[in-house]
Amino acid sequence: MLGAAWHAEESPWGGRQPDYLTFIDRWDAGWYERIFDGGYPTTIPRNENGTAQPNQWAFYPVFPLLARGLSAITGLGWPAAGAIVATAAGLGAALMIYVLFKNFASPGTALWGVAFFAMFPISPVLQVPYAESLGVFFLAAALHFLIRGNYWASLPMVVLLCLSRPAGVPFAAVVLLHLLLRWQKRQPFPARDVVAGTVLLLASGVMAFAWMLIAWWVTGERTAYTDTETAWRGSELVLFKPWFDAGVDLVGPLWGPVLPVLFVGLAALYLNSRAVRLIGLELRIWCAMYMLYLLAVLHPQSSTFRMLLPLFPLALAAAFISRSRAYRWSVLVMFTLLQVVWVVWLWQFSAISTGQAWPP
| pLDDT tens for each residue of 295-337 | 999 989 889 999 999 999 999 999 999 999 999 999 999 999 9
Please count the structural domains in the chain.
1
**Domain region containing 147:** 2-44+56-225+322-347
Share of the chain above pLDDT 90, in %: 83
Q: For residue 161, tell me if it sits in a domain.
A: yes
Is 281 a residue whose pLDDT tops 90?
yes
Q: For residue 102, tell me if it sits in a domain.
A: yes
Is 276 a residue whose pLDDT tops 60?
yes
Query: Is the separation of the CB atoms in 122 and 308 below 8 Å?
Result: yes
What is the residue-averaged pLDDT of the chain? Answer: 94
Mean of pLDDT values over 22-51 = 94
- Say how many residues make up the chain: 360
Q: For residue 169, tell me if it sits in a domain.
A: yes
| pLDDT tens for each residue of 126-165 | 999 999 999 999 999 999 999 999 999 999 999 999 999 9
Is 50 a residue whose pLDDT tops 90?
no
Q: For residue 326, tell me if it sits in a domain.
A: yes
The pLDDT value given to residue 270: 96
| pLDDT tens for each residue of 130-140 | 999 999 999 99
Is 51 a residue whose pLDDT tops 80?
yes
Non-local (6+) Cβ contacts of 309 within 8 A are 120, 122, 123, 125, 132, 136
Q: For residue 237, tell me if it sits in a domain.
A: no
- Between residues 56 and 351, the one the model is more confident about: 56
Q: Kindly report the CA angle at 158 between 156 and 160, in degrees rounded to 5?
A: 70
pLDDT band at 237 (very low <50, low <70, confident <90, very high): confident
Q: For residue 12, tell me if it sits in a domain.
A: yes
Is 356 a residue whose pLDDT tops 70?
no
Is 125 a residue whose pLDDT tops 60?
yes
* pTM for the full predicted model: 0.95
The pLDDT value given to residue 201: 97
Calpha distance 22→110 (Å, rounded): 35
The pLDDT value given to residue 353: 56
HEC secondary structure over 41-91 = CCCCCECCCCCECCCHHHCCCHHHHHHHHHHHHHCCCHHHHHHHHHHHHHH
pLDDT band at 9 (very low <50, low <70, confident <90, very high): confident
- In 3D, which of 41, 36, 225, 256 has the Cα closest to residue 131? 36
The pLDDT value given to residue 352: 62
Comparing 35-39, 87-91, 105-109, 229-233, the range with the smallest average pLDDT is 229-233
Q: For residue 242, tell me if it sits in a domain.
A: no
Query: Is the separation of the CB atoms in 184 and 198 below 8 Å?
Result: no
Is 354 a residue whose pLDDT tops 60?
no
The pLDDT value given to residue 11: 86
Q: For residue 279, tell me if it sits in a domain.
A: no
Calpha distance 112→133 (Å, rounded): 19
Calpha distance 237→212 (Å, rounded): 14
pLDDT band at 200 (very low <50, low <70, confident <90, very high): very high
The pLDDT value given to residue 124: 96
What are the φ/ψ torsions at residue 302 (nearest 5 degrees)? -65, -25
The pLDDT value given to residue 102: 98
The pLDDT value given to residue 232: 86
Query: Is the separation of the CB atoms in 56 and 34 below 8 Å?
Result: yes
The pLDDT value given to residue 326: 97
